A and B are shown apart, each in its own frame.
Chain A
Amino acid sequence: MAGISTRSRPIPWNELERIASTAEAAEADAICGRVPKFIVEPSTAEQVAAVLRWANENSVALAARGNGTKPGWGAAPRELDVVVSMRKMNRVIEHAWGDMTTTVEPGCTVADLQRTLAEHGQRLAVEPLFGGHATIGGIVAANDNGPSRVRFGSLRDLIIGVTLALPDGTLARSGGKVVKNVAGYDLPKLATGSLGTLGIITQAIFRLHPLPQTERTLTFQFETIAAANQAALALLDSVLTFTGLQLRSSGPSLCTLDVRFEGIENAVEDQARRAGRMVGNLLPAEAGQWQSSTALWDESPGSICRFSVLPSEIAPFLDRAQSLAEPLAVRTRAVVQAVGVGLLRLDGPTDALLRTIRELRQLAAVRHGSVVVLHASGELRSQLDPWGEVGTALGTMRRMKQQFDPKGILNPGRFVGGI
């Protein structure tokens, strides 16, 4: 990426103020520890495009932000001058409930969107971290999904259209308002998980699902993670249609498995009964299981990793984490979706965390998995690439970045492989 450090003339900040409301940034606006100079709050897509064009012309490094719930995700940007806050662009532009689609601005919080959709008995079938506060733009950029993906897929499967503002000021639309559409390249998927490194999302369109009449969660207890993993595999292999299947473990012993059914009353009861017969060791009903991923963030500091393994490898992975952690005085807590994506919280001395994460990366890689550090201290961050190894596609990813953002003004260095 062409370095923006080649900047030769002073930045005309007064021009930025003329484009959209601008304020000086504070410590709290830091992204991965790097504090920007200004916060700009555009109100329209055209203003976003104008900010980008201005930044591109002046080699100003930008990072887009929704509600700032994930400021530590990714690597520290090489440079950061301006945070583009999307909070003013928070409208639900359309809820076409008859078509089961919605068009929404990126600064809209997930909670606000869900409230609007619920008026017509619908929902966006995602349950991201920090549920109420995270914004649509933020969860798309970070590809943060949640338990319901086991039934409804992840954001990449739910997003059907996107408008992107590019560094050259182009506003580009792709996809559309219809669920089925193969005209042109799938830029909504490219934007999903790109962490604001290719463009800034100014509008997104999603397919929706009906809100269920009722739901019921069962929680089962196991003496080992392996037994819980076996039960999860048995449920995955069953004809039951759960909308959440999640393992929770903290420490070496005891592990719980949450399974959720949704739909019409009699069918939910029927499925719950059958799951109960299949699994056994049912615990009394409790609340909040499906927020337990977010709860990993409750205490600070510590390190939180997102790991991805095959469903059958969950127990071997967590067992290994446990056996590595214990002698190093590292405490572990994990919340794992049975599809093979989980969060692992590690608390302990930095050296021990580094060693544990490196070993786990090697283990995950054997069967094409990954371990990405989402949350870590500055000390840990400075000694470890939070993304880990990317594989053979990195060259193509770099060329993609080069095409979309040739001067490297968008979140430079925050993404994989220094992108």
Chain B
Amino acid sequence: MDRRILDAFRAVLSSSGLITEASELKTYECDGLTNFRVVPAAVLLPESSEQVQAVVRICHQHKIPFVARGSGTGLSGGALPVANGVVLSLARMSRTLEVDIPNQRVTVEPGAINAFITQQVAPYGYFYAPDPSSQQVCSIGGNVAENSGGAHCLKYGFTTTHVLGMDVVLPDGELVHLGSSTLDSPGYDLAGVFVGSEGTLGVATRIILRIVKRPEVITTLLAAFNSTNEAGEAVSDVIASGVLPAAIEMMDNLAIQAAEASVHAGYPNCGGLLLVELDGTATEVETLMHQVNDICTRRGAWEIRLAHSEAERIVVWKGRKAAFAAMGRISPNYIVQDGVVPRTALPQIMNEIARLSRESGLRVANVFHAGDGNLHPLVLYDRRITGQEHLAEQVAGDILRLCIKAGGSITGEHGVGEEKKMFMGEMFAEPDLDTMQLVRCAFDPEHLANPGKVFPRLRLCAEKTGPYTPHPLELAGVAEFF
């Protein structure tokens, strides 16, 4: 990178905010998806909104692509650097700016850690609802980029439900405010569009979050079934009965074995394990939990445990939360997938995944959010065996195709990023993708923000925009536009 440009960055950030040393840059070459690696030209560590704005202006002036990055826990290569581009690490912007308990809002900088939000508001009886499994380390800025989910999104919604407003530095360096701390602000819902845009529309530098009152009672039921099909039928019955659980999670035998080997969760050794969490008032949870218990028994559950206290719940959840990392105990390498199917298609998709596993000779462990049909198949393989990585990628890809065929999605919460952009063309038709990119053209016509991600190919944006016609009220001097 041109020395003069680096000097310009240094002038904004001082030397401590600029990384150019090759060995240090390597830290940033990938995110949680480690099979894609690119070393960036520089890493910038701004400490304020103004600094983000200043460095983005420099990028814009010199047409340098930039990739914003939080904690780097993403699983789709969304924070993969661009060669000759810079990485904008928001790690130093992690302050809490405001806690407003009566209005149930918390304002943070993008580098703030997800779990820390809950820690701060817990004394007042509140929590921050989106709970990706990486919540102990992942940042809110990253959650915003990916529209992160988590087990409890079934009832509480995804990151987008909990982001009310944001300060965003646009790719040309302009600072704008999207959304508001109040609801329904006039105009297009640009905050809704920005959340989940995977860093391609700009950089959020201040985020207003909604927090949720902690329910009076939370109870988790663990049920052991002979197969995931039986467990799946229990899920259908629970949903049909009109109960909306806070979470419904399922694991198959291979996933249980891995969790046992890793964190000794004490799960029963069964073919299909179900976790159903209910929350609400004591009376409500008690009554509904009886119903869920009866449904599970009727559907063949041979062991049921109830976790009431926080300590008991932590034990029950331990194996599930550790499931991805636990795969390392039973396989040298694995690919995590993130497909979604309509919930009723789960049994069929499970059979198909089993078939793919048989045909390829690769083991596939299954962990999923059964309530909303979000699958996390883990394709296990050994990189040292020639051809196995390629085969595993094929199996993972075929699973996504099955999800598309079933009317689902290629990603429920991990994002498209670098990894799945080629599948976008299988899920959507060309006009669909072209239309989405109109949004990109409105925010980032020069494709400087995280270029090359999400979409299989770029749509060129019309450079010149038409003249602005003033509103008659404006001409009459009645209204002013700001």
Contacts and interface: CB of A to CB of B under 8 A. Distances in A.
A351 interface: no
A96 B297 CA distance: 26
Contacts of A189: 160, 189, 192-193
Interface stretch (B12-20, B261-269, B411-419): B411-419
A280 interface: no
Nearest to A179: B372
B266 to A, nearest CB: 29
Interface in B446-468: 454-455, 461-462, 465-468
Contacts of B84: none
B381 to A, nearest CB: 25
19 contacts: A75-B473, A99-B342, A121-B242, A172-B436, A174-B432, A174-B436, A182-B146, A183-B410, A184-B455, A187-B439, A193-B188, A239-B281, A367-B182, A385-B478, A391-B180, A395-B176, A396-B176, A400-B439, A404-B438
B399 interface: no
A215 interface: no
Instruction: Say which size band chain B's interface belongs to.
Output: 35 or more
Contacts of A389: 482
A66 B148 CA distance: 35
Interface string B275-297: 00000110110011000000000
B186 A388 contact: yes
B288 A264 contact: yes
Interface of B: 100-105, 125, 146-147, 149, 153, 157-158, 160-161, 165, 170, 174-178, 180-190, 192-193, 195-197, 213-216, 236, 239-240, 242-244, 280-281, 283-284, 287-288, 340-344, 369, 372-374, 407-416, 420, 424, 427-429, 431-436, 438-443, 454-455, 461-462, 465-474, 478-479, 481-482
B310 to A, nearest CB: 16
Q: Identify whether the interface residues of A are mostly helix, strand, loop, or mixed.
A: loop
A311 B281 contact: no
B466 A270 contact: no
Count chain A CB atoms within 10 A of each CB in B196, B281, B341, B467 and give the residue with the most.
B281
Nearest to B482: A389
A173 B429 contact: yes
Interface string A361-372: 000100111101
A371 to B, nearest CB: 9
A394 B481 contact: yes
B482 to A, nearest CB: 6
B161 A99 contact: no
Nearest to A339: B183
Contacts of A153: 157, 161
A252 interface: no
Interface of A: 1-3, 75, 78, 96-101, 121, 143, 153-154, 156-157, 164, 166, 170-174, 176-187, 189-190, 192-194, 198, 209-213, 233, 236-241, 263-264, 266-267, 270-271, 274, 306, 308-312, 339-341, 364, 367-370, 372, 382-385, 387-400, 402-404, 406, 408, 413, 415-418
Contact of A185 (B193, B239, B429): B193
Given A166-B435, A185-B196, A392-B177, A98 B344 contact: yes
Contacts of B160: 157, 186, 189
